[in-house]
Amino acid sequence: MGKDPGWSIDVESCSTEQLVELAKQLKGSEHRAQLLAIQREMVARLRKAGFSDQKIVDALIANAWAGDRAALAKEWAEALGMTEKEFKRLASGK
């Protein structure tokens, strides 16, 4: 997944608030591997709390315009362990 960045984040020891802040800071950067690790940790925490994939997708798209859903699918599908097509299917409610 790209070149070795020379640093990593212990995502399991971060609070949810810290993960969200780190994800915001890394979004759009060349540090895709670290961002993906953060997203996967957030997804794992939600699943542990009882959220289904449908509920997670619903939360991600809650405040997004319909046109932004494709970008969210691209950004989050891998972290959820699904394809962009599957993300979009869940987002559409089908």
Of 78, 72, 29, nearest to 88 by C-alpha is 72
Domain boundaries of the chain, sorted by first residue: 11-92
Q: At what angle do helices 84-92 and 69-80 cross, to 10 degrees?
A: 120
- DSSP class of residue 60 equals H
**Which band of pLDDT confidence, cut at 50, 70 and 90, is reported for residue 27?**
confident
Of 34, 28, 27, 26, nearest to 3 by C-alpha is 34
- 39-80 pLDDT, tens digit per residue, is 999 999 999 999 999 999 999 999 888 778 889 999 999 999
pLDDT of res. 6:
64
Decide if pLDDT at 14 tops 60. Answer: yes
Residue pair 77/84 in contact by the 8 Å Cβ criterion: yes
**Which band of pLDDT confidence, cut at 50, 70 and 90, is reported for residue 1?**
very low
Share above pLDDT 90 across residues of the chain, in percent, rounded to a whole number: 63
